[in-house]
Structure 1
Amino acid sequence: MHIATIFIAFALLTGCMGAEAQKENNNDNSKIKSMDTSKLSNPTVKEAFQAWQAGDSTLWLSYFTPDAQLLDDGHPRDFQNFSREAIGHERFTSIDIVKDTGRSIYGKFHSDTWGNFKTYFKFHLDAHNKIYKLEIGQADY
């Protein structure tokens, strides 16, 4: 009987520890909002990225033209709806590659809905440094 009690206690203890460790791991992964953005050389992109990471939809939208376009893996999507739904629930967890004079960002990404994956954000700016098109999608690098 003593062995059974020890076994039950051990099973309960390891089960609780496993759940706590899993919860902690998920929190660590999903709460990364700020990071080193020194690789981002385009000021508009850098500021928009920081607004995205902070979950500030008002500031994020201020960097875009009113009729900004969104392409998701090459398919048109409603930019305003995407921004409302994703900001605060999706974020980069690393910046791995920056291209196109600082206008394209590739990195690891966390979505509360879709999990973790590699992605890209490609910003297209007009003559007034407003973003008129954003291309996003899963990256393979």
Structure 2
Amino acid sequence: MTIAVDKLSDPAVRRLLGAVNSGDRDAFFAALTDDATMSDDGSERDLADWVDREIFSSHGHIEVQTEKSGGRAVVADYRNDTWGEMRTAWRFTVAPDGRVSRFETGQA
């Protein structure tokens, strides 16, 4: 059973993942701090390059299966045109201003 993105517990994660599913790059970056960082499968990545390649140019979509840590850790089925569908884990760090300052993703 999936959890609708608009029902996720953490508002910052809700905004970020909602932007993924709506294909809204501007809203995605607005949900991040200016100095946000990320990693994929334990390797640091250039955030803008990764996001364009793995989400927006390849029509990424996320379906959350479970959430923990107040909504700041999720397991989800993620799919895009490049890799197809895979089970992924995501962890989010939220800054005091309510935006995501870091996310880490990888295969679950």
Note whether the superposition's TM-score is higher than 0.5: yes
Q: Which has the higher contact order (CA 8 A, sep 6+)?
A: 2
Alignment of 1:1-141 (within 5 A): 36-37=4-5, 39-88=7-56, 89=58, 90-92=60-62, 94-139=63-108
Identity of aligned residues (%): 29
> What is the aligned partner in structure 2 of residue 16 from structure 1?
none
The answer to which structure has the higher helix fraction is 1
After TM superposition, the score normalised by the length of structure 2 is: 0.87
The answer to whether the 8 Å contact 1:70/1:79 transfers is: yes
After TM superposition, the score normalised by the length of structure 1 is: 0.68
Please tell me the residue identity of whatever aligns with 1:110.
R
The answer to whether the 8 Å contact 1:39/1:98 transfers is: no
The answer to which structure has the higher strand fraction is 2
Q: Which has the larger radius of gyration?
A: 1
In the alignment, structure 1 segments of 5+ residues that lack a partner are: 1-34
RMSD after superposition: 1.5
Query: What is the distance in 1 between the residues matched to 2:94 and 2:4?
Result: 23
* Aligned pairs, number: 104
For residues 76-98 of structure 1, give each alpha carbon's deviation from its aligned partner in whole angstroms, at most 9, with x where no partner exists. Answer: 00011111222332211x32110
